[in-house]
Amino acid sequence: MSEHTFATRVSRWYERNARDLPWRVPGVGAWAILVSEVMLQQTPVVRVLPAYEAWLARWPTPAALAADPPAEAIRMWGRLGYPRRAMRLHDCAVAIVERHGGEVPDRLEQLLALPGVGTYTARAVAAFAYGQRHPVVDTNVRRVVSRAVAGEPDAGPATRPADLVATEELLPAEPAEAALASAAFMELGAVVCTARSPRCAVCPVESICAWRASGQAAPAGPTRRPQRYAGTDRQVRGLLLAVLRESSGPVPRQRLDQVWTDDVQRSRALAGLVTDGLVEPAGGETFRLAGDGPAIPAPALDA
Give me the CATH number covering residue 103. Answer: 1.10.340.30
pLDDT of residue 303: 47
Domain, as residue range, for 98: 3-214
Check whether residue 77 and residue 33 sit in a common domain.
yes
Distance, CA of 250 to chain centre: 30
37 is catalytic: yes
Check whether residue 191 and residue 266 sit in a common domain.
no
Q: Could you tell me if residue 297 is inside a domain? A: no
Check whether residue 158 and residue 196 sit in a common domain.
yes
pLDDT of residue 84: 95
Low-confidence stretches of the chain (pLDDT < 70) are 1-4, 219-227, 295-303
Exactly one of 3, 37, 103, 206 is catalytic; name it: 37
β-partners of residue 288 are 280
pLDDT of residue 158: 79
Check whether residue 194 and residue 242 sit in a common domain.
no
What would the pLDDT profile of 196-252 be if each residue is shown by its tens digit?
899 999 999 999 999 999 987 776 655 556 667 888 999 999 999 999 999 988 999
Check whether residue 193 and residue 250 sit in a common domain.
no
pLDDT of residue 296: 62
β-partners of residue 251 are 287
pLDDT of residue 220: 64
Q: Write the secondary structure of 51-85 as one string of H (helix), E (strand) and C (coil).
A: HHHHHHHHCCCHHHHHCCCHHHHHHHHCCCCCCHH
Check whether residue 238 and residue 205 sit in a common domain.
no
Strand order across the 286-289 sheet: 251-252, 286-289, 279-281
